[in-house]
Amino acid sequence: MAVVEELIRSQSDGTLSFGNYKLAEKAKRSDFVFHEDVYKIKTYFEITRLEKNELFAYESVPGTAVSDYRQEDDGLFFRVEGAKDAQITVGLEPETEYIVLINGSSTGSMKTNLGGKLSFGIELENASEMVEVRIRKA
């Protein structure tokens, strides 16, 4: 997987791919309909931000490319790549405890804030392939 040239796309397996961290200037796409939800993406080398139905869903600083993004009954799953290590924030259920697994290794348990946001750092700069992230309710 590399960057998503069309900024956001649906995959045949029912997941989303989005983001292009190689863009020098900000690019946006709105009104992307997927499974009856409406998505908006803003992406370039400094940030990648995804909204679902006008609510926060994903953000990385600096920008990243995400594939296999899917919400699950107990959390979220996606694969991510980028040119530099990133701070990732995702939107989940408010005030809920989650376990974050990066390439299968637990980073421990974290609790979302009142807005449902959960933030964590991820090492991407020296990764030879996409990094797998799974977030599950504790």
Average pLDDT, the chain: 95
CA torsion through residues 25, 2, 19, 137, sign: negative
Query: What pLDDT, on a 0 to 100 scale, did the predictor assign at position 128?
Result: 84
Average pLDDT over residues 58-75: 96
pLDDT band at 30 (very low <50, low <70, confident <90, very high): very high
pLDDT above 90 for 78: yes
Contact 108/134 with Cβ under 8 angstroms? Answer: no
For residue 5, name the pLDDT band (cuts at 50, 70, 90).
confident
3-state secondary structure of 118: strand
Domain extents in the chain: 8-137
> Cβ(135)–Cβ(90) under 8 Å?
yes
pTM of the model: 0.95
The CATH number assigned to the domain with range 8-137 reads 2.60.220
Nearest of 107, 94, 97 to residue 134 by alpha carbon: 107
Rounded to whole angstroms, how far apart are CA atoms 55 and 53? 5
User: For 97-132, how does the pLDDT look when each residue is reduced to its tens digit (9 = 90+)?
Assistant: 999 999 999 999 999 999 999 999 999 988 888 999
Average pLDDT over residues 70-89: 96
Q: What is the pLDDT of residue 109?
A: 94
Cis peptide before 62 (omega within 30 of 0): yes
Which tokens in the block code for residue 2?
């590399």
